[in-house]
């Protein structure tokens, strides 16, 4: 039985959960930060930074969310292929995965981290530091979406895009000149695997350092 270690409010945990839910892959979820010293210690030693999510598959330990999705695609395939068979197309899917992780999710996280490290500052100050970067990313994605077909199936792209756009829009809302991004975010949040993550994370919204908006 697969075991996923993470937290329901973690964006990168969502990335792995969406892949698991999309293919109805059986697994056990171990929530971190619940006082289980053994579980927390395992994750802390699983990778160089001790971050989650971490997947345990028998004797195999996989850390980093993208690697977990790749592992699931190869070793636990289901009705929703997470990567295309054509290697050239798969390379581009991996490229877009990095766009959402590095240029949306990680940029958003900079504001969150600033607010955590300096809780006395006004949230608008933390947001201001990432506004230009996120606007640039949103507008790049807006152009890319002109050629991307929105599907009900989940791939590595959806696994990366859903949590990154969910939380990034909380920090810096998608501007009005990016209607495709706005519509795609709504589409992603309506996908059953993503909607399940949204609901499971709902009780933890008070933990969002910048204040969770009263929506979604």
Q: Domains in the chain, start-ordered, CATH in brackets?
A: 2-75 (3.40.30.10), 87-204 (1.20.1050.10)
pLDDT of residue 150: 72
- C-alpha dihedral over 188, 135, 180, 73, to 10 degrees? -40
Q: Which parts of the chain have pLDDT scores under 70? A: none
Cut 0.85: pTM above it: yes
pLDDT of residue 191: 97
Q: Which of 209, 207, 199 is nearest to 14 (CA)?
A: 199
pLDDT of residue 49: 87
pLDDT, one tens digit per residue, over 44-88 is: 888 898 899 999 999 999 999 999 999 999 999 999 999 999 999
| CA–CA distances in Å: residue 58 to residues 75, 119, 151, 210 | 12, 41, 33, 38
Q: Which of 107, 97, 181 is nearest to 143 (CA)?
A: 181
pLDDT of residue 39: 85
Structural contact between residues 18 and 197, judged by C-beta atoms closer than 8 angstroms: yes
């Amino acid at each position: 039985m697969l075991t996923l270690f993470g937290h329901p409010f973690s964006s990168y945990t969502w990335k792995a959960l969406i892949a698991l839910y999309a293919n109805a892959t059986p697994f056990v979820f171990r929530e971190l930060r619940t006082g289980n010293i053994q579980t927390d210690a395992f994750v802390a030693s699983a990778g160089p930074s001790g971050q989650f999510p971490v997947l345990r598959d028998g004797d195999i330990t996989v850390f980093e969310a993208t690697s977990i999705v790749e592992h699931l695609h190869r070793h636990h395939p289901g009705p929703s292929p997470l990567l295309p068979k054509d290697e050239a197309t798969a390379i581009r899917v991996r490229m877009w995965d990095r766009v959402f992780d590095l240029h949306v999710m990680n940029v958003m996280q900079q504001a969150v981290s600033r607010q955590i490290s300096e809780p006395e500052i006004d949230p608008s100050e933390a947001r201001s530091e990432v506004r230009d970067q996120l606007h640039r990313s949103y507008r790049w994605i807006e152009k890319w979406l002109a050629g991307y077909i929105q599907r009900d199936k989940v791939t590595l792209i959806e696994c990366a895009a859903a949590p990154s756009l969910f939380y990034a829009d909380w920090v810096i809302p998608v501007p009005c000149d990016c209607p495709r991004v706005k519509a795609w975010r709504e589409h992603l949040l309506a996908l059953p695997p993503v909607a399940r993550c949204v609901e499971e994370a709902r009780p933890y919204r008070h933990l969002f350092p910048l204040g969770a908006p009263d929506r979604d």
